[in-house]
Amino acid sequence: MVNRSPDLSGAVSERLENAGQRLTGNRSALVDVLGEAARPMTIPEILEERPDLAQSSVYRNLVVLEQAGLVHRIVTNDEFARYELAEDLTGHHHHLICANCGSVEDIPPIPALEAAMDGAITQVARRTGFHTETHRIDLIGLCARCS
Amino acid sequence: MVNRSPDLSGAVSERLENAGQRLTGNRSALVDVLGEAARPMTIPEILEERPDLAQSSVYRNLVVLEQAGLVHRIVTNDEFARYELAEDLTGHHHHLICANCGSVEDIPPIPALEAAMDGAITQVARRTGFHTETHRIDLIGLCARCS
DNA sequence: CTTTCTGCAAACGATTTGCAGCAGC
DNA sequence: GCTGCTGCAAATCGTTTGCAGAAAG
């Protein structure tokens, strides 16, 4: 996500403080790496970009950042979990997941789809009592490189 | 999924054979359990229902059934993976995932949403070269019990 | 200063696998 | 009867955790 909020670092320190956590170099480094990536990253990818970080601290800090509402963890059928900045920092988006190589790319929301989704959420609430907070739309197929 | 194909067992033996695998009691037992559930099941849930099955065989056979195209594995943020019958056996559907208790329920596709999805898939292919094979729509929120 | 964070190495737990005996075909 | 499946127990590997020293406020 390149289009990050102008006040990303403000949000970071504010939400960490609200969560009773300190703002440390490791934690801003993680937010930076995730903020510059155009897709959710695995921990090996993060470590490749920032070899100075200790693996255990990355795991620990991603938990902290997730609890602070700054980072979102997503699990695919791949072996590693992936992390991205929270949607309210990067904008709502969906994922293209390659069934062959496992890569994940972000795409912006498609207006007609989002509109249909709003109607669907209302229907579901009426029919099942389920109260939707957010939704996830993934397209699964072959990326340009694999097809 | 209660509305299973009338020829479920036919599909099972045929696809196992195509995959060069034998049809065994354990494997049909798994298909039965998944076919009767209204939602994707974890391995502990499967073992609870069929305590006679060995855990390692369940893991192994779910891999075989997935490769044969009979079963689909889904991963949530929950600690266990979940398994369901392939969509062409049960019908296309989506999931309601409770952010609080982690439960997953199936819901039928919503026509307006599916129609919008078709348009979106075309747009994505044109813009990014990604060739969509299937899609996944999950609504995340609070189930009737947790809200 | 005090409290929280970090890095190392050891622990954990869901899943996978080696192997000897059993079952599909 | 061969070959592939099963069950047990041991191994694997992503992730979590305990602890002593370092850094945030």
pLDDT per position as a tens digit, B113-122: 999 999 999 9
Q: What is the phi/psi pair of residue B6, to 5°?
A: -60, -25
Å separating the CA of residue A59 from the C1' of nucleotide C18: 32
The CA distance from B90 to B71, in Å, is 10
Indicate whether A116 pLDDT > 50.
yes
pLDDT in tens, B46-80: 999 999 999 999 999 999 999 999 999 998 888 99
Q: Which residues contact B81 (CB under 8 A, 6 or more apart)?
A: B42, B43, B73, B74, B75
- Here the tokens at position A138 are 């993934």
Mean pLDDT across chain A, nearest whole number? Answer: 92
For the B92-147 domain, the top CATH level (class) is alpha beta
Q: How far is CA A46 from CA A31, A110, B7, B138, in A?
A: 11, 29, 48, 27
Give the right CATH number for B1-90 from 1.20.210.10, 3.40.50.1820, 1.20.1640.10, 1.10.10.10.
1.10.10.10
Q: Which residues touch strand C (CB under 7 A)?
A: A 21-22, 24-27, 52-57, 60-61, 64; B 13, 22-25, 42-43, 55-56, 59-60, 63, 79-81
Residues 6+ apart with CB under 8 A from A71: A30, A31, A34, A62, A65, A83, A84, A85, A86
pLDDT in tens, A50-98: 999 999 999 999 999 999 999 999 988 888 999 999 998 999 999 998 8
Among candidates A42, A53, A48, which has minimal Cα distance to A83?
A42
Cα A85 from chain centroid (whole Å): 5
**Chain B neighbors of A131, CB-CB under 8 A:** 141-142, 147
Q: Is the pLDDT of residue B5 over 60?
A: no
A100-109, A113-122, A123-132, A134-143: least confident range:
A100-109
CB B88 within 8 A of CB B38: no
| Residue whose C-alpha is closest to residue A33's, from A81, A73, A1, A78 | A1
Does the pTM surpass 0.75? The reply is: yes
Question: Which of A123, A137, A142 faces B135 most closely, judged by CB atoms?
Answer: A137
Q: Tell me the torsion sign for CA atoms A27, A31, A34, A36.
A: negative
Query: In angstroms, rounded to a whole number, what is the distance separating the alpha carbons of residues B40 and A27?
Result: 36
> What would the pLDDT profile of B80-119 be if each residue is shown by its tens digit?
999 999 998 999 999 998 887 778 899 999 999 999 999 9
A6 pLDDT above the threshold of 60: no
d(CA B1, CA B22): 25
- Residue spans in chain A of domains classed CATH 3.30.1490.190: 92-147
Using the Cβ of B95 and the Cβ atoms of chain A, whether some distance falls under 8 Å is answered with no
User: Where in the sequence of chain A do the CATH 1.10.10.10 domains occur?
Assistant: 1-90
- Report residue A7 as tokens: 């006040």
pLDDT of residue B65: 98
Query: Which nucleotides in chain C have some atom under 7 angstroms from a protein Cβ?
Result: 4-10, 13-18, 23-25
Q: Between A and B, how many residue pairs show a Cβ–Cβ distance under 8 A?
A: 118
Nearest to B44 by CA among B12, B68, B70, B78: B78
Identify which has the larger pLDDT, B76 or B3.
B76
pLDDT computed for residue A100 by the predictor: 75
